């Protein structure tokens, strides 16, 4: 294992400290317990939005704290949900009296810890609602699984719900738009290589030189099937097919196409993949109205990508275009 780290147990603390120093104009960082808060929080009368989860997915979530997106992020240990204490602290720090929304990726640990935190915050008189993201079509949503995972669609939920909160929407309205984005987002990912959790020191799974893993999540967990490496266009098709089967589009409907890198994928490959995805969508008569390409929700140094398609309506487009000023997404301001 070669990594730019000191003590493996201090990776998250030291990285978050650096994040706070680099973006002191946008956020402040608290260490006991650890959470990242918008510099001007709490904002009176505004719905507060808190997200969080295991570290290793940067820029998610701290990179999305700031004007027009999240009010706080709670980083756990690498690939491990944060405990309830820092979630409660973050919830209190962003409560401006209009209630707080928790955006939680559907992973058992995240859901259990956020639930516990919401109970504790409610006991202190804060109205907390949760939206659980579950956009990953690789997982069968059935009684026999923990349900679909929340993956790259989470970034889109955070941006759009954040814009709704910023313009002054009520907690009910912010919850409604967050749920609508989640319900209209579908994602699927693949990995060319595993990733190495610092304290584990070994790869999360092994792949032969010519093998790839289809249907991965974002925690270095293995996916649903293993196949031989194929040309990029065929890989894109493999990801798009289940997405479009799961949420069919009428000709002329609008979509946001999001090609995400898993941390170790160069932009040149992501845009190459985007080209094929755009071609397939055009053949189906789907209008790509907005796009996002880059490493926005990652699994450490994993090479791979995910594709997310969000079916857009007028309000979502307006909220997507609204100004945002965070470390990782910034426009219009």
Residue from 46, 105, 149, 180 that binds another protein (CB under 8 A)?
149
DSSP state of 44: T
Residues in 196-235 at the binding interface with another protein, rule: CB under 8 A: 197, 199-200, 202, 204-205, 217, 219-224
Q: Measuring CA to CA, which residue among 136, 116, 112, 146 is closest to residue 299? A: 136
Q: Does 122 bind another protein (CB under 8 A)?
A: no
Which CB atom, from 35 or from 219, has the smaller least distance to another protein? Answer: 219
23 catalytically annotated: no
Check if 57 is active-site: yes
- Tokens matching residue 171: 């907690």
Q: How many helices (H) and strands (E) does the chain have?
A: 8, 15
Among 4, 123, 143, 208, the residue binding another protein under the rule CB under 8 A is: 143
Stretch binding another protein (CB under 8 A), from 104-112, 177-185, 240-248, 311-319: 104-112
Rounded to an integer, what distance in angstroms lies between the CA atom of residue 77 and that of residue 158? Answer: 21
Please state the length of the chain. 333
- Our finding on whether 275 is near another protein (CB under 8 A) is no
Which of 23, 35, 61, 219 is an active site residue?
219
Q: Which residue in the list 57, 61, 102, 199 is annotated as catalytic?
A: 57
List, in sequence order, every residue forming a beta bridge with 324; answer none if it has no partner: 331
Please give the distance of CA 214 from its chain centroid, rounded to a whole number. Answer: 19
The answer to whether residues 224 and 215 touch, using CB atoms and an 8 Å cutoff, is yes
Is 112 an interacting residue with respect to another protein (CB under 8 A)?
A: yes
Query: Among candidates 38, 96, 100, 95, which has minimal Cα distance to 71?
Result: 38
Catalytic residues: 57, 219
| Contact residues for another protein, defined by CB under 8 A | 54, 76-85, 107-109, 112-113, 115-116, 138-140, 143-146, 149, 197, 199-200, 202, 204-205, 217, 219-224
């Amino acid at each position: 294992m070669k990594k730019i780290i000191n003590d493996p147990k201090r990776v998250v603390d030291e990285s978050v400290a650096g994040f706070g120093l680099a973006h002191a104009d946008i956020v402040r960082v608290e260490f006991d317990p650890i959470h990242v808060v918008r510099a001007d929080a709490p904002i009176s009368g505004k719905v507060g939005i808190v997200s969080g989860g295991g570290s290793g997915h940067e820029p998610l979530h701290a990179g999305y704290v700031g004007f027009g997106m999240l009010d706080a992020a709670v980083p756990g240990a690498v690939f491990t949900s944060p405990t309830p204490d820092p979630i409660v602290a973050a919830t209190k720090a962003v409560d401006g009296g209009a209630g707080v929304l928790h955006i939680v990726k559907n992973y058992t640990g995240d859901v259990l810890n956020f639930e516990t935190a919401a109970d504790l915050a409610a006991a202190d008189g804060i109205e907390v609602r949760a939206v659980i993201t579950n956009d990953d079509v690789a997982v069968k949503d059935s009684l026999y699984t923990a349900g679909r995972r929340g993956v790259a669609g989470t970034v889109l939920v955070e941006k759009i719900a954040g814009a709704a909160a910023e313009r002054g929407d009520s907690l009910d309205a912010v919850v409604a738009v967050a749920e609508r984005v989640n319900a209209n987002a579908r994602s699927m990912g693949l990995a060319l290589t595993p990733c190495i959790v610092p304290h584990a020191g070994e790869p999360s799974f092994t792949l032969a030189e010519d093998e790839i893993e289809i249907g991965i999540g974002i925690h270095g967990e293995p996916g649903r099937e293993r196949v031989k490496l194929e040309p990029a266009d065929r890989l894109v098709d493999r990801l798009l097919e289940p997405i479009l089967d799961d949420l069919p589009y009428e000709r002329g409907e609008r979509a946001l196409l999001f090609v995400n890198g898993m941390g170790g994928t160069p932009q040149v490959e992501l845009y190459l993949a985007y080209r094929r995805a755009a071609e397939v969508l055009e053949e189906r008569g789907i209008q790509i109205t907005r796009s996002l390409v880059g490493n926005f929700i990652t699994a450490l140094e994993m090479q791979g990508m995910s594709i997310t398609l969000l079916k857009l309506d007028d309000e979502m487009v307006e909220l997507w275009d609204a100004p945002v000023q965070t470390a990782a997404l910034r426009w219009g301001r």
